[in-house]
Amino acid sequence: MTSFFDSELPPNWELLPISEVAEVNPKFDKRGIADDLEVTFIPMPAVEAETGFIDASGVRCFGQVKKGYTGFLEGDVLFAKITPCMENGKMAVVPAMKNGVGFGSTEFHVLRPGPNLDSKFLYYFVSSKQVRFDAEHNMSGAVGQKRVPAAYLVGYRIPVPSIDQQKRIVSKIEEIYSELDNGISALKTARKQLKVYRQAVLKHAFEGKLTAKWREKNAGKLEYPQHIVARIQWEREARYQQQSEDWKAAVELWKANGKLGRKPGSPKKLDVPEAIKLPLGHYLADMPKEWVCIKARHLCDFITKGTTPAKSELFSGEGDVPFIKVYNLTKSGRLDFTIDPTYVTNDVHQRFLCRSKVFPGDVLMNIVGPPLGKVSIVPDSFKEWNINQAIAIYRSKILKPKYLSEFLLFEKTVNFMMAQSKATAGQFNLTLEICRELPIPVPSMEEQYEIVSRIEEKLSNLDFLSIEIERQLSKSETLRQSILKKAFSGQLVPQDPDDEPASELLDRIRAEKQKGKQTGRASAQPYGSSLREAT
């Protein structure tokens, strides 16, 4: 079995299967532990992704966890084996625990370093993105329940220098990471501040405060709320009449072609829009009296969700029609199709995915989370696009796309919709009914333009700063992985000529392993004599 660390190693290093220097899922001796003994409990959520931090504050009695959970000791390395926890980097060194005993999720593999392997050295190795990438491509099981087999870790090779060199490497990694983490913390603080500022601007916009003076100045020129509703009804009726004429023409063409294929469907009569009276305490209840609140389904001709074709129908990098996924949506209203661009054929677009076509100016919102609240306006770089089933389409001729997208990005709007969603196993799903019944504040068209203009003015540099922060965070993560690659190829710290030769190191490792087989490895015991006596 190979790994990306197969490049040339320093002379005093060995490349060994993990099982040569650590036990994978060692047996846990539970004999002699009283059921009422308090032990540390570490479920999967207690292990942070990427950071190696474990919340070891959870405590349960041994009797509650002795069955159905995985046991481990201080200094063991936990390795999340199930998707997506493994890919997200849920690995950590087990800290000191209550009475020296810990139990946790059965979705952890336990790696117990031998005397020639430092726990943190092992942690940094298995948590590297390359090891996770290799593990991801060797998972087994059904979709959504894939796991890394223990046998894979047993055979995966790890570069092993002397124990002293391992400690020097760990020390250097932590020194560099400490500086890197300070920079990352500052970037994340800045990102949070930008988010707070953006939401403050949106709050002022949709409470009417952003354009309060503008309304005073233009008081005699604004539409009354009842006139806004009447205009919306007139526009909807005009579009329905046009759709009816287009349908009649399509039917005549269908007849002229010998009635080949399905008969064109007639347009659906649109509901009459009406103003909504909001209850006290609703986040839009104090909107300006010049505005009117109307349900989304009365403001949009089309609200539906996408469809996902078979995996074989999706093409990465290039194709006929761009296929948008949730990761292409953003928190700024901009569509980012540079992330893993996917395409479908024109035939699939016109047939199987015909109901989920989207066009420039359509507003898209993810309806499966977390996180919810990703919204993008479809750009005009393609004439037609398509979307998957986790995205809803809002197509409105009444609201400016930018106005609608900013409203959907407003945190209070997201929270309002989330409160009505169904949460299953930590996943929030918005139904189309929630999307269609969403109350939306509607000012006059002139004020919509003014609101959008002022939002853009105040947030003009925000998107650039947000992109730059994300770029720097990505750069930091790349640097972190580069440090690990140097560490495990012997390039991070100088080699000590006094370290024992690789041949001696290997002989000693194998001799100690053989001795452990003959006498019984002490590390397999979850507690010492003092605990045995106490229980």
Helix (H) or strand (E) holding 18: helix 18-21
Q: Which amino acid, 481?
A: Q
What pLDDT is recorded for position 533? 35
Instruction: Compute how many other C-beta atoms are within 10 angstroms of the C-beta atom of residue 362.
Output: 20
Burial of 400 (0-12, 13-18, 19+ CB in 10 A): middle
Burial of 350 (0-12, 13-18, 19+ CB in 10 A): middle
CATH no., domain 274-443: 3.90.220.20
Q: Is 103 left (phi over 0), alpha (psi -120 to 50) or beta?
A: beta
Bridging pattern class, strands 108-113 and 363-366: unpaired
CATH class of domain segment(s) 14-162+500-534? alpha beta
**Using CA atoms, how far apart are residues 355 and 202, in angstroms rounded to an integer?**
32
Using H for helix, E for strand and C for coil, what is the string for 433-490? HHHHHCEEEECCHHHHHHHHHHHHHHCCCHHHHHHHHHHHHHHHHHHHHHHHHHHCCC
CB 273 within 8 Å of CB 299: yes
What pLDDT is recorded for position 523? 44
Residue boundaries of the structural domains of the chain: 14-162+500-534, 274-443
At 36, the pLDDT band (50, 70, 90 cuts) reads very high
Q: 42-46, 81-85, 351-355, 506-510: lowest mean pLDDT where? A: 506-510
Helices (H), 37-162: 62-65, 85-88, 119-126, 129-136, 150-155
**Using CA atoms, how far apart are residues 414 and 410, in angstroms rounded to an integer?**
6
Q: Angle at the Cα of 297 (from 295 to 300), degrees rounded to 5?
A: 115
Q: What is the DSSP string of 361-417?
A: T-EEEE-EESSP--EEE--SSSS-EEE-TTEEEEE-SSS-HHHHHHHHHSHHHHHHH
What pLDDT is recorded for position 6? 55
At 532, the pLDDT band (50, 70, 90 cuts) reads very low
Q: Give the residue from 348, 340, 279 showing the smallest Cα distance to 320.
A: 348
At 516, the pLDDT band (50, 70, 90 cuts) reads low
Residue 111 has pLDDT above 80, yes or no: yes
Equal CATH topology for 14-162+500-534 and 274-443: yes
pTM: 0.68
Residue 319 has pLDDT above 70, yes or no: yes
Q: Give the residue from 162, 163, 155 showing the smallest Cα distance to 19.
A: 155
Residue 148 has pLDDT above 50, yes or no: yes
Considering just the CA atoms, what is the radius of gyration of the chain in Å?
A: 30
**Using CA atoms, how far apart are residues 132 and 50, in angstroms rounded to an integer?**
11
For all residues of the chain together, what is the average pLDDT?
89
Residue 530 has pLDDT above 70, yes or no: no
